[in-house]
Structure 1
């Protein structure tokens, strides 16, 4: 195996870890706090997710000799931002995370369930994702309105670097965020000295609690978004690069590693899509049989970054919340535009997709269940009605 290692894969693996972590850790923190996590619990969740996906990525890449990159569920975290704190607080959300992990395991073991998730119309799944993240995508522009001196540098860095190389757009915004925080935000005395104490990895055990409302409003939408927006596209990315792993075992493994992260505040890990394309692409190595080392190095990088989660979150906590949301929103603009293009591509499903998007984006909560679930139900109802109308419509007989 060592004979397949190369400097090219080393560089790409480090880039995978940096891009995967830096481009969306702010979304993870916001998502966990959105369902009631404290700063310590959010940091613990970030650490648990990063360590879990690092170990999982290393093991599955070694086992399959394929560049299978693992990531946390960024769309799932974006969903949590708008889900609201459930009755019972964060422990109830953690119970929903554990239920989601069980569903992912079942999706891998029980083929009909996996097929049922795959059968959810892609336009509706994408519309739900778009409705979930649209609110967060407004944050960069709201930050400019609230404080141009703080918000504009982040937005400009993202836009300018993105026109040169989209891959570095979000890391550039993150670098601008760090500079703005250091030079533009008044910090309390001893703020940086306090960061030294954050070098110890944060660990907060949370005992799960279970309620029917949290199962429907958090666990089920989180499962659907993770499968439809991450796991299934992750398999598709691998197939595009001529890798053909068995999907079921991979889903099961990510579900098991999700379950390991859940008691410490993590919500879900899954197959990566964007970073999978990096690790599986030509830039990782000219020889496809040697590219799995990029995913292994990426997993090692996630392990290291996860152990530094306390330092990362303590530093981020010094910033105004709108700036954190700004970086998270910029990280999701690509996902938002892609989801809408996919949602409204087909004329026959546009009304159903629009219903899903609008209901989800409205943020309504009925019977304690979040808008993501009702958006999907509304979209499926519209799709069913439109198909029923087509069947009942009299066919014109040509004489």
Structure 2
């Protein structure tokens, strides 16, 4: 493996239209809808503007740093951000606990994830999980990006339809230009033409992030901290690992878990719920839209820089986030997922093994169910494996991963 400095020196040759556009579009996706979830949760909980901005700073700035570090360390498109369903979970928790107590739950979650990563357990489990079941989970968890894109046609047929047509035509007629970027530009032009940009009152003042001391509350840890840890591992990391596998990478599973734990520990002191490896944005940067496989990590550097900048100027940037039409963001995200979804579907259902388990993994992930605060991707893996153990036990070939593989995974923890 090349060193970080070597990969950084080689990065300029991979910075092109494709890596730039997917990096920018991943950042646009991550800085719009997900940011609004945090803003809404902070307002509902009665947090001050300073506390809300500190939360945004923590997850975006440190999430960006995680992505930049992992991309340069492993030369893979591993994006850092935060858990989107985790933001929904903790927004509800803020209704019952103080910010310091919730931050104590964040800290506990980070410690749990860190310990599991250092133990090497997550890497062993992911290596054992049947690939078709993992790929089916990816399709089920991310198919909503495709369906949301189609649903958006009802609300804004000109914007969404124009963006999709621009994507298809540019893919066919001018393949050297990133079709995703062209679709976004066309969508923006149409949105401006139809007056869909919601330019409200702009905030121009900067607010500094606040450092606070987490307070451990057993109830908060049980109701928020443990479910958050499971979300980070069972949703975000699992999706990212599956996406990278689908694109032909060998992801550093244990290292991804360790860095997500460290991110959760650091952000807790700023009132942020967790900076970790991000599933949907990894899917965008790892897709064929990013160009050659070897250089796709460069898109993460673009994304990380934009994420970090968004965190630093969150108070001002939020005004621009609110202005973007949600239908345009949904459309771009859906188009960016096309390659990942097709590849994952092929991997999940082309072979003959684990087909029933993969089907159950698919429908469980699509259902969006949540038990004990843990979302459907985690239960999709559990359900798919259980079904295959009952009906397809002959497909399991225990021991296919030898000690060498386990040792390689453990060696990747040295982050």
Aligned partner of 1:178 in structure 2 is 188
Gaps of 5+ in 1: 285-291, 392-399
1:234 CA drift (Å): 5.3
Q: Tell me which of 316, 320, 327 is aligned to 2:332.
A: 327
Does the alignment pair 1:219 with 2:223? no
1:380 CA drift (Å): 1.8
Aligned partner of 1:394 in structure 2 is none
- Looking at structure 2, the residues matched to 19 and 225 of structure 1 have their Cα atoms a distance apart, in angstroms, of 22
Aligned partner of 2:343 in structure 1 is 338
Asked if the contact 1:24–1:331 (Cα under 8 Å) also holds between the matched residues in 2, the reply is no
Q: Tell me which of 262, 266, 270 is aligned to 2:277.
A: 270
Aligned partner of 1:289 in structure 2 is none
Between stretches 84-93 and 169-178, larger displacement belongs to 84-93
Asked if the contact 1:104–1:251 (Cα under 8 Å) also holds between the matched residues in 2, the reply is yes
- Looking at structure 1, the residues matched to 311 and 330 of structure 2 have their Cα atoms a distance apart, in angstroms, of 21
SS at match of 1:348: coil
Q: Deviations over 1:307-333 (max 9, x none)?
A: 355555422313454443333333333
Aligned partner of 1:122 in structure 2 is 131
Aligned partner of 1:287 in structure 2 is none
- Looking at structure 1, the residues matched to 158 and 53 of structure 2 have their Cα atoms a distance apart, in angstroms, of 28
1:135 CA drift (Å): 2.3
Between stretches 147-156 and 29-38, larger displacement belongs to 29-38
1:385 CA drift (Å): 0.2
1:147 CA drift (Å): 2.5
Superposed counterparts of 1:92-241, under 5 Å: 101-163=110-172, 164-165=174-175, 168-185=178-195, 191=199, 194-195=201-202, 197-198=203-204, 200=206, 203=209, 210=220, 212=222, 214=224, 218-231=228-241
Aligned partner of 2:308 in structure 1 is 303
Cα distance change on mapping 1:282 and 1:338 into 2, 3 Å: closer
Between stretches 198-207 and 133-142, larger displacement belongs to 198-207
Between stretches 104-113 and 268-277, larger displacement belongs to 268-277
- Looking at structure 1, the residues matched to 344 and 192 of structure 2 have their Cα atoms a distance apart, in angstroms, of 35
1:379 CA drift (Å): 1.3
Q: Deviations over 1:4-47 (max 9, x none)?
A: 98797177189746522423542564346558635878876665
Cα distance change on mapping 1:131 and 1:320 into 2, 3 Å: same
- Looking at structure 2, the residues matched to 158 and 279 of structure 1 have their Cα atoms a distance apart, in angstroms, of 16
Q: Tell me which of 59, 79, 102 is aligned to 1:71.
A: 79
Does the alignment pair 1:20 with 2:23? yes
1:123 CA drift (Å): 2.1
Q: Tell me which of 263, 266, 271 is aligned to 1:260.
A: 266
Gaps of 5+ in 2: 44-48, 397-415
1:368 CA drift (Å): 5.5
Cα distance change on mapping 1:201 and 1:68 into 2, 3 Å: farther
1:220 CA drift (Å): 1.7
- Looking at structure 2, the residues matched to 314 and 305 of structure 1 have their Cα atoms a distance apart, in angstroms, of 11
- Looking at structure 1, the residues matched to 121 and 333 of structure 2 have their Cα atoms a distance apart, in angstroms, of 35
Asked if the contact 2:66–2:79 (Cα under 8 Å) also holds between the matched residues in 1, the reply is no
Does the alignment pair 1:55 with 2:62? no
- Looking at structure 2, the residues matched to 169 and 229 of structure 1 have their Cα atoms a distance apart, in angstroms, of 24
TM-score (norm 2): 0.67
Cα distance change on mapping 1:106 and 1:49 into 2, 3 Å: same
SS at match of 2:381: helix
- Looking at structure 1, the residues matched to 90 and 6 of structure 2 have their Cα atoms a distance apart, in angstroms, of 50
Cα distance change on mapping 1:366 and 1:125 into 2, 3 Å: same
Cα distance change on mapping 1:152 and 1:268 into 2, 3 Å: same
1:107 CA drift (Å): 4.1
